[in-house]
Each structure stands twice: as C-alpha cells, then as structure tokens.
Amino acid sequence: MKRRQRVAYFSSFYIVIAIGRAFTTARNHVFFKVTLLFSHLFTSVKLLQNICIQMVRNYVRKTDRGGWTEEQM
C-alpha cells in the first residue's frame, strides 16, 4: 500500500470517528456503526480499484514491449 493511499484511508477513518463522537447518543449509535461500515467498504473498494488499475497497466506495458502475447495469457 502506497503512503498516499494509507494517509487517505486513515484520514477518512478519523473523519468518521469524529462524526461518531458528535453523535454519542444511543439513538445515533447505529448510525455511527453504519457510517463506519460504509467508510470501510468505500476505502476497500478504492484500494481494489487501484490494484486493478495497476494490473491492467502492467499487462499493457508487457504487451507493448512484446513480452506477453494474447495466447500466453
């Protein structure tokens, strides 16, 4: 995981914690948990997207050089 991705992940995590602290009542406790869950899902989706983009870039780079052909995949 690159440094920038890690920083983005932790900053979003702390923002959600701050929102949760603002809603400390029992009624909003469920809301906080749902928000936390969504933030985790969102960040993991972003990380998966970045991994897929890297894989596609590496594949394109290798085919451009002639390292791999379609049959070898």
Question: Percent of the chain scored above 70 by pLDDT?
Answer: 64
Q: Per residue in 23-49, is it b (16+ CB within 10 Å) or e — as a string?
A: eeeeeeeeebeebeeebeeebeeebee
Q: What is the pLDDT of residue 71?
A: 54
Tens of pLDDT along 3-37? 777 777 777 777 777 766 666 655 566 776 777 78
Q: Whole-number mean pLDDT of the chain?
A: 72
Who has greater pLDDT, 26 or 54? 54
Specify the pTM: 0.35
